[in-house]
Amino acid sequence: MKKVIILLLISIFSCKKEPKNTKLSGQVFGTSYSVIYDSNENYEKQFDSLFYVINKSMSTYIENSDISKINRNEAVEVDAHFTNVFNTSKAIYDATYGAFDPTIGAVVNAWDFGPEGKIVSLDSLKIDSLMLSVGLDKVTLRRNAISKENLNTFLDFNAIAKGYAVDVIAEFLESQNVNNYLVEIGGEIRCKGTNKEKQSNWMVGIDKPNFDGSQSVIKAINLEDGAMATSGTYRKFKLDENGNRYAHIIDTKTGYPSKTNVLSVSVIANDCMTADAYATAFQAMGIEKVTELLKTHPELKVFFIFENENKELETLALNGFPES
């Protein structure tokens, strides 16, 4: 009898299937998303519902979204998603001394960067006028309602909303007792556990800045129970008449595009919303200011790719950004 039991057990284990992930992907927020997780359940409908709610709350491209109504100075009661993003934006606005500012959107829109890659001149008076409405410190949230000191202030969460959506999907999966996953939206990533199908840690890549539009990886790292977001200027940059390259990110202090040698900033944080916002801010701040700020933010790990004086690529890892 014992031999029969042993043979049965051997048979059962030999027929056991290898772990297999569920992989879902699609289009959202004007980009693509990909989710890999350790479960046989298909959560595509749930993901779509969550994306819809986030869009309805914070998409400036949807006319009847909450944020669009706020930008038209209409009365609206914001939801928990909006509140979470607004409060985090406030905290990072303060921490970066205004380098991260969701009210800079009107100025960004005013800089009509032409398809030929040339900066279209803006009248300085126009910029000065627009800058009067810039400053998240001029916007408050009380009892689920937004109030603005300047009615022309334009809110735009584009630099943080993708990261937030990554967190929402990740937290939904955890609510379903899925503890091995990787969520990616437009290059912003959050993962937990391990890749059960490959029986390895989650491996993510950082793109090499290629101005010709091609794609290659300059660095691959193991990302463990955290989030990473990257902000790059090498795909969105403009040239002035002297050939100087300017970042598409507008300096929140001056209202002008940032002239920078920083091509890419990757930030690892506990959640993707935080990583997303800091990556944008750090792109504008530059290496020296970021290095100083990181002395009081050990929770943030940062990786810079920049051009030196000889136009050669260099990298700099700060605060223990993983080597591989």
Q: What is the per-residue pLDDT for 209?
A: 83
Q: What is the per-residue pLDDT for 184?
A: 98
Q: How many domains does the chain have?
A: 1
Q: If DSSP codes are grouped into helix, strand and coil, which group holds residue 286?
A: coil
Tell me how far apart the 2 most distant CA atoms of the chain are, in Å.
Answer: 93
Is 12 inside any structural domain?
Answer: no
pTM of the model: 0.89
Q: What is the dihedral of CA 43, 47, 48, 52, to 10 degrees?
A: 150
Separation of alpha carbons 212 and 234, rounded Å: 9
- CATH code, domain with 66: 3.10.520.10
Q: Which residues pair with 307 in a beta bridge?
A: 313
Is 16 inside any structural domain?
Answer: no
| Contact between residue 230 and residue 302 where contact means Cβ atoms under 8 Å apart | no
Q: What is the per-residue pLDDT for 98?
A: 95
Is 307 inside any structural domain?
Answer: yes
Separation of alpha carbons 221 and 159, rounded Å: 24
Q: If DSSP codes are grouped into helix, strand and coil, which group holds residue 69?
A: helix
DSSP string, 179-243: -SEEEEETTEEEEES-BTTTTB--EEEEE---TTS---EEEEEE--SEEEEEEESSSSEEE-TT-
Is 11 inside any structural domain?
Answer: no
Is 6 inside any structural domain?
Answer: no
| Pairing status of strand 203-207 against strand 217-222 | antiparallel
Is 147 inside any structural domain?
Answer: yes
Q: What is the per-residue pLDDT for 241?
A: 62
Is 99 inside any structural domain?
Answer: yes
By the 10 Å C-beta count (0-12 exposed, 13-18 middle, 19+ buried), 41 is classed as: exposed
Q: What is the per-residue pLDDT for 188?
A: 97
Q: What is the per-residue pLDDT for 299?
A: 96
- Residue 116 domain boundaries: 22-318
DSSP state letter for 119 = P
Q: What is the per-residue pLDDT for 245?
A: 60
Question: What angle do the packed helices 158-175 and 272-285 form, to 10 degrees?
Answer: 160
Q: What is the dihedral of CA 156, 158, 160, 164, to 10 degrees?
A: 110
The residue count for the chain: 324
Is 1 inside any structural domain?
Answer: no
What one-letter code names the amino acid at 11?
S
- In order along its 324 residues, the chain shows pLDDT tens digits of 434 343 344 444 444 566 789 999 999 999 999 999 999 999 999 999 999 999 999 999 999 999 999 999 999 999 999 999 999 999 999 999 999 999 998 887 777 654 444 555 667 888 898 899 999 999 999 999 999 999 999 999 999 999 999 999 999 999 999 999 999 999 999 999 999 999 999 999 999 887 666 788 889 999 989 999 999 865 556 666 666 666 667 888 888 877 778 899 999 999 999 999 999 999 889 899 999 999 999 999 999 999 888 888 999 999 999 987
